[in-house]
Structure 1
Amino acid sequence: MLTGLSGEAFVNARPSMKNRAFTLHERLLVIAIVLNIHHAPGQSTGPAHPGTLLEAVVVTSTPLERTLFEQAQPVSILRGSQLRLAVQPTLGETLAGVPGVSSTYFGPAASRPVIRGLDADRVRVLQNGNNTLDASATSVDHAVSFDPVGVESIEVVRGPATLLYGPNAIGGVVNVLDRRIADERIGAPVRGSIEGRTGSVNGERGGAFMLEGGVGGFVWHLEGYKRATDELHIPGFARSARLRRLEPLPVGEKEARDVLPNSDLRTEGLAGGASYVWEGGFFGLAYSGFHTNYGTVAEPTVTIDMEQRRWDFRGAFFAPFAHVKAVKYSLGVSDYEHTEFEGALTGTKFENEGYDGRFELAHEKLGPFEGVLGYQTEHSDFSALGEEAFVPSVATRVNSVFLFEEAVFEPVRVQLGVRYDQVSVESESSPGFGRGSERTFDNVSASAGLIYTPVEGYAVALNTAFTQRAPTYQELFANGPHVATAAFEVGDSGLRSERSFSLDLSLRKKTGRVTGAVSVFYNRFSDFIGQFATGEVEDELPVFAYRATDAVFVGGEAEITWHLLEPAAAESGDGKASAAPALDRPVLDLEFKADYVHATDRATHDPLPRIPPFRASAALNFQHGRYRASVEGQYSARQNRTSEFELPTDSYILLNASIGYRLTLGSTEADLYVKGVNLTNAEARLPTSFLKDRAPLGGRGVVCGLKFTF
């Protein structure tokens, strides 16, 4: 299920909206007023009867594993049946309905999350708290190295998370969780699940299985998945009307229509793990293999073949000695490569070998404070081989120490943190790039957060952070044609560390007829590194150059639920996510989500490129016993705040619906779901995509799935 800032479960959808002359302040004011309708602060915060029971949800991507209601920063969690409905071939599209999250959408096979208008190296994608160690952050055509169909849950932290996960988390964190390494015993020799799904809009067919079991303290896990799609069906032309007018095709060449060329996909993966769990801790290791082959969409004959082999080690000691609550450690080791093919010819081959290790010591209360002291080390050897390589071979090393502390002075919770990072980026000498060079960056980040609970069921959270991010090897050293993205990329070896000051304010409510949260944020950058179109052409490709400027991002998100049949009741006063209703008590909820980002280059006062517009969605969700159903409308405003050489994007409205049924067959549970997407077959293009004028979202389609759990 999708769990918002208040912990409430929300339907996953791509939020959207239309052309309306609201100012930013008007939008945020309306959202804040709506949250408090039907529930003034003086009212009783608990219903007279049990109401819709809400369960506690713990955020594992935070150091002390607090609930959603106890976080200074906004967090959303996608899991359960809502995760199954949301799953797409890419992580970006799977999360595109979380407020504040859009996607890079480089076609249906390569898409990464965009959080509050920030993407690429500013959004850290993790597997169980460790770096994915792939190349997805370096270029929009590079897929993330796992398929969302195989994950247990996904946590999204909006806003800077550099204190825990490094300078690459200046925009936010996406932590993907699986069960490969167990941290608790399983009371069954064997249990598992098997799932199949099919989709009409892209000819999707795929499935996944999971088996696990335990004997005493020994726990084992095995999982696998496979997915294949054909080319994506689209509503009309692949190229937008504006682009067709500005750049007509040569005489005799036909416009692509109804099907998006070179958008097919093949993906498969297999993973296994084993753990030993005892009263005072656990230790486990896991191996995973991932392979995918997909078309890049930007060029009709360019495909990417990608694979990763990865080992993970993770463990903990609980209360090993006096005043120490826990000692946790983890290590991920990866061997990654992908090759870009131009037809049958081998183009550029990318390789990345690396590791990411963490050590955390959680101490018990020292006076009013309890917290975590940690060390993180990361190393990667990246190379791009071939005549058309656009970056040299590079070694990147990061060593970090961090401290996070928390104290509770009822009704206020205080969270403080500081981190130091030393980042070294060293390029090798090569004929195409000349003599190698090394840059070293020493960065310090700090944050302070307050969570104020004036009355039961309400919370106000304020978080402020100063963060620094070193430029990546691509931002520093890129210089050449990148065929898969149809761009000539140019870096700047003189770039300095990016600096950011951010403020985040949230209002949360978890009981009563109306529950949810509203957040507003302000993020001011110095030396913000962006990839900007120059208007020049090199090797018949448009030139995109990395350069630094000053920038400011302002915006907000809302996720609000009206419980139409009965109020929501909190269980034990923690952060919440909707629990399944009792068989004899129906639940009918009206859910509203919205987000907005306003991003400006402070030097030129021009809009920054590829920023999401104002978006909103409304959904009516029904659940009664074994049945569930939902209908939703998604709306995305026109984006005409564009940078130089960037075209505006039209507004769109999408209509989706889903139904589900859960059946128990002895000790086996079957979950059947059917989802209709873009039922009106509307044309929708994402302003956050480099390919927005060449690759729309899919047209009308139906997704069917069946999962057996035993």
Structure 2
Amino acid sequence: MKKLAITLLATAAMPLSAQAQDASDEADRADEQDRVVHMDRIVVTAPGVEDLSVLAGASVIDGEDLLRNQSGQIGEVLDNLPGVATTGFAPGASRPILRGLDGERVRVLSDGIGNIDASNTSADHAVSIDPLTAERVEVLRGPATLLYGSQAIGGVVNVIDRRLPRVMPEGGVRVDAFGSIDTAYDLREGGAAVDLGLGDDFVLHFHGSYRETDDFEIPGFQLTEDLRADLLADAAEELEEGNVEEAEELTEQANVTGVVPNSFTETYSFGAGAGYIGEGFRIAGSASYYDTFYGIPSGPGGHHHGEEGEGEFEVEEEEGEENVSITLEQARFDLLTGISLGGFFDELVLRVGHSNYTHTELEGEETGTVFDVLGTEGRLELTQAPTENWRGAVGAQFYLRDFEAVGEEAFVAPNETEQFGIFTLQELQFGALEVEVGGRYENTAQSSDPLGIERDFDTFSAAGGISYGVTPTIRVGANVTRTERAPSGEELFANGPHLATQQFEIGDPDLDVETVLGLEGYVTADIGPVEARLAVFSNAFDDFIYLSETGDEEDDLPVFEFLQDDADFIGFEASASAPLFSVAGGQFITDLGASYVEAELDDGTPLPRIPPLELFGALEWQSNAFDLRGEVEWYDDQTRTAPFEEATDSYALVNLSAALHPFRDDRIVLLLQANNVFDEEGRRHTSFTKEYVPVAGRNFRVTARASF
């Protein structure tokens, strides 16, 4: 595992002119950074943090690891990192879960600014970021997350691409292209990105990608044993009553095997950008488009009716009941500019993103509900000129969103969000001791004209961290955060049937501010080629907002309400990487990881969809010509379940891969993979759809990447 840690003073002092002069080294650095990294001192590219140490650690995935874990949704890409899980609703919709938190408590960023879509409102909504065009993905935690908003209680996922040019391509041109096929999804995907240097200061960028999959293959039955038993019992009752057709339909649903129906995806994206990189000044802009069409697998009969913990299923009365699918498109415009100041503040950076997003839920070819989101987010940051023992950043941020849902099953009333915040992050260093403090004030105004409701929230958040270098290679530290979060528009104004998730959702316009006190202790070791990290954490919530199944029904759908109660999250994360021994011209290395989180309400009731204990182990043989890697992902059973929630069994996935490097500069890589080698059945406890969407079966995949 290669180091990304850089001397902070040298990095923080690097002026814009030096960035231009060092541009020729950028491609080489990108090629070298091909391992996942967990460490306490890391230079990341998220705005405001790039010049600061991140106490409590960050995880970065790029290069060959990103290629190996590539998927159509960012949640799937990060799924095997310690402390990271995925909502896994369907192949077309999967969002990251950090330390058991998701939705409104995890900020997903596109190059440092919000992705401005509706993925945080519901698990069936895709994240409108294309991982196929990503250069690297960063997962941030700790005090630095205050820079990105109170919605980053769980952490920040920052997806970085090249749409906003920052460096001149080496030799004036850079081209990256890739393509993949596989068996379980019948995947066909490909894409390319091109950077063209014009003169000494201007860069043009173009990118595009396409991805298509069919209904994916699974090892056995689509439904859990309990669901199958209920359906077959209902079929027997229907047959006794003489309802032959209904009995046959229930039996057919119970016996679906080998594939998850209506789990297809089709996605394409393209964009262009331009940048000027001068001495003391840079500016870049881009326009991009993202379009995806994907199926929503449904439960038995289309609806699951829970009553006092027992499953009952109804056959749809209407003939020709159509499958549900979602089509989503987003047009996005981005701006980045930086000015070297040369005083107390070293640089001013302005980052703005504007998005026009439309999400349509379809029943067959009939339009059900249309979600429109028009949003703009901007950040103005001032990075302080570093001194011998002090560095920091201050800034302001605004976010405007106009949300509208139209249709018979529009479950959220039209609403508007206006948010403004100011923030700071400061770091002091006294020899082996480092101290980091941050603060944020935010005003959030939520309003819904049709409901005649207006809410205004003032929230204050603060964080502090301290770490000490026990030795030059071992560091211990602790963080404390107190964060306040205003309720979202969906939590306040939901009231209606949600077709895709098969729920009737009810919000509460009287919700209060959610407050969390977070504590974390950690130890890191960076002993030559050996790296290790252990962190334990606790998040104590006051007025935690959660969606709870009531046991009632409305419009033949189970009712879910947004409620508030105190809640506690505790857990740990651990990771290690080390070389073992050399043999046959190569070297064996090992990667290990583990994570666990436990979450419950104040009365001890477990919260739903909390990931179980996860263990990860990998053994890799690396050489100049090729690498061989074997991985085991083990997921414990989860029996700590919320009311009306099903438990899940443990399972293990074994993955094998071989990466061929025909040239020493790694410009061409051929990756051969066999995932879930033993065709194991598994169900993600974090998924709303775990009872009828298991993980994919044995999958053979071939990927080629070329960079010039």
Q: TM-score range by the shorter chain?
A: 0.7 to 0.9
Residue of 323, 328, 332 corresponding to 1:306: 328
CA drift at 1:515: 2.1
Matched, 1:143 2:142: no
Matched, 1:175 2:158: yes
Matched, 1:82 2:81: no
Question: What CA deviation, in whole Å up to 9, does each residue of 1:492-517 have, x standing for no partner?
Answer: 11110110000111111112474211
CA drift at 1:225: 0.2
Question: What CA deviation, in whole Å up to 9, does each residue of 1:328-361 have, x standing for no partner?
Answer: 1100001000110111211000000010000001
Name the SS for the 2:516 alignment partner. strand
The answer for unaligned runs of 5 or more in structure 2 is 8-34, 236-246, 303-321
Residue of 444, 456, 465 corresponding to 2:460: 444
Instruction: Tell me the equivalent position of 2:206.
Output: 222
How well do the aligned residues superpose, as a CA RMSD in angstroms?
A: 2.2
More helix by share: 2
Matched, 1:393 2:391: no
Instruction: Tell me the equivalent position of 1:688.
Output: 686
Instruction: Tell me the equivalent position of 1:134.
Output: 117
- The TM-score normalised by the length of structure 1 is 0.87
Q: 1:62–1:523: structure 2 CA closer, same or farther, 3 Å change rule?
A: farther
8 Å contact kept, 2:83–2:596: yes
Question: What CA deviation, in whole Å up to 9, does each residue of 1:614-633 have, x standing for no partner?
Answer: 11011101111121110011
8 Å contact kept, 2:143–2:479: no
Residue of 49, 59, 63 corresponding to 2:48: 63
Structure-2 separation of matches of 1:668 and 1:285: 30
- The TM-score normalised by the length of structure 2 is 0.87
Residue of 550, 561, 567 corresponding to 1:534: 550
Q: For residue 516 of structure 1, what is the amino acid of its counterpart? A: A
CA drift at 1:243: 2.4
Q: 1:489–1:241: structure 2 CA closer, same or farther, 3 Å change rule?
A: same
Q: 1:206–1:261: structure 2 CA closer, same or farther, 3 Å change rule?
A: same
Instruction: Tell me the equivalent position of 1:370.
Output: 391
Instruction: Tell me the equivalent position of 2:146.
Output: 163
Residue of 470, 473, 485 corresponding to 1:469: 485
Matched, 1:426 2:444: no
Instruction: Tell me the equivalent position of 2:291.
Output: 291
Instruction: Tell me the equivalent position of 2:96.
Output: 113
Name the SS for the 1:245 alignment partner. helix
Instruction: Tell me the equivalent position of 1:252.
Output: 248
Name the SS for the 1:84 alignment partner. helix
Residue of 324, 339, 347 corresponding to 2:360: 339
Instruction: Tell me the equivalent position of 2:507.
Output: 491
CA drift at 1:585: 5.9
Q: 1:162–1:513: structure 2 CA closer, same or farther, 3 Å change rule?
A: closer
Matched, 1:632 2:631: yes
Residue of 460, 475, 479 corresponding to 2:476: 460
Instruction: Tell me the equivalent position of 2:11.
Output: none
Instruction: Tell me the equivalent position of 1:356.
Output: 377
Structure-2 separation of matches of 1:2 and 1:608: 38
Q: For residue 541 of structure 2, what is the amino acid of its counterpart? A: F
CA drift at 1:228: 0.3
Q: For residue 498 of structure 1, what is the amino acid of its counterpart? A: E
1:208-219 matched pairs, under 5 angstroms: 208-214=191-197, 215-219=199-203
344-353 vs 359-368, greater mean Cα deviation: 359-368
Matched, 1:404 2:403: no
Question: What CA deviation, in whole Å up to 9, does each residue of 1:639-660 have, x standing for no partner?
Answer: 0000110111000011101001
Instruction: Tell me the equivalent position of 2:282.
Output: 282
Structure-2 separation of matches of 1:263 and 1:554: 34
Question: What CA deviation, in whole Å up to 9, does each residue of 1:154-205 have, x standing for no partner?
Answer: 0001357551011111111000001111222234232202111001101000
Structure-2 separation of matches of 1:176 and 1:613: 26
Matched, 1:267 2:267: yes
Name the SS for the 2:146 alignment partner. helix
Structure-1 separation of matches of 2:265 and 2:3: 30
CA drift at 1:281: 2.6
Name the SS for the 1:145 alignment partner. coil
8 Å contact kept, 2:143–2:465: no
Name the SS for the 2:48 alignment partner. coil
Q: For residue 315 of structure 1, what is the amino acid of its counterpart? A: T
Higher RCO (CA-CA < 8 Å; seq separation 6+): 1
Q: Percent identity?
A: 37
Question: What CA deviation, in whole Å up to 9, does each residue of 1:421-442 have, x standing for no partner?
Answer: 000111121xxxxx32111110
Instruction: Tell me the equivalent position of 1:19.
Output: none
Instruction: Tell me the equivalent position of 1:697.
Output: 695
235-244 vs 134-143, greater mean Cα deviation: 235-244
Structure-2 separation of matches of 1:269 and 1:307: 10
The answer for unaligned runs of 5 or more in structure 1 is 8-51, 430-434, 567-582
